[in-house]
């Protein structure tokens, strides 16, 4: 089966305690998910402020505003994503201690991009509510946007 590809765009004011957002396998019909492209930047006026992007595994979605993944294909009727995503959390997800997938620094006036080779992205198992949270544990309160391209059923 070929993987279906989707875009997830998450935004929030950077927080040292709550995530920019989360991507989780669906609770009722989970599929394996791979993040193969990731971009993060600040929408604020450029300064020398620095941020840390930390991607950490989680086992719940927490409480946030749901985000519907957008199908990236161009032919046929678009499938519905089985991946759950959320932003603007008011309650953090349950983090998996020490399970960090990525840590990268960036400045407010720049961006960070991650491209993975096919089959070498940041992966989630086909386990209900298995997920990853995108955190900014270092950085001032400014608007952050994160774009993730995901493949389902990899």
Q: Which residue has the higher pLDDT, 87 or 139?
A: 87
pLDDT in tens, 71-87: 998 877 888 898 999 99
CA distance 65 to 15: 16
Domain ranges (residues) in the chain: 4-152
The token pair at 109 is 């006036």
Q: Quote the pLDDT of residue 2.
A: 67
Is it the case that residue 31 has pLDDT exceeding 70? Answer: yes
Architecture of domain 4-152 in this structure: Sandwich (2.60)
pTM listed for this prediction: 0.92
Q: How far is CA 128 from CA 12, 26, 125, in A?
A: 25, 6, 9
For residue 60, what are the contacts with CB-CB under 8 A and spacing of at least 6? Answer: 24, 93, 94, 129, 131
What digits encode the pLDDT tens for the residues 109-138?
A: 888 999 998 889 999 988 988 999 999 998
Q: How far apart are CA 78 and CA 93, in angstroms?
A: 29
Is the pLDDT at 46 greater than 80, yes or no? no
Tell me, what DSSP letter sits at residue 119? T
The token pair at 28 is: 């009722």
Enter the DSSP assignment of 127. Answer: S
């Amino acid at each position: 089966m070929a993987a279906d590809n989707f875009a997830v765009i998450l935004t929030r004011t950077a927080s040292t305690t709550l995530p920019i957002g989360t991507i989780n396998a669906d609770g009722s019909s989970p599929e394996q998910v791979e993040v193969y492209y990731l971009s993060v930047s600040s929408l604020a006026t450029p300064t020398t402020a620095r941020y840390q992007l930390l991607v950490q595994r989680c086992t719940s979605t927490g409480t946030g505003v749901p985000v519907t993944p957008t199908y990236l294909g161009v032919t046929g009727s678009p499938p519905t994503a089985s991946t759950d995503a959320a932003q603007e959390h008011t309650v953090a997800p349950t983090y998996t201690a020490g399970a960090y997938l990525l840590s990268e620094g960036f400045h407010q006036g720049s961006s960070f991009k991650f491209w993975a080779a096919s089959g070498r992205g940041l992966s989630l198992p086909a386990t209900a509510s298995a997920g990853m949270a995108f955190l900014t544990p270092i950085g001032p309160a400014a608007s952050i946007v994160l774009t993730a391209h995901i493949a389902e059923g990899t």
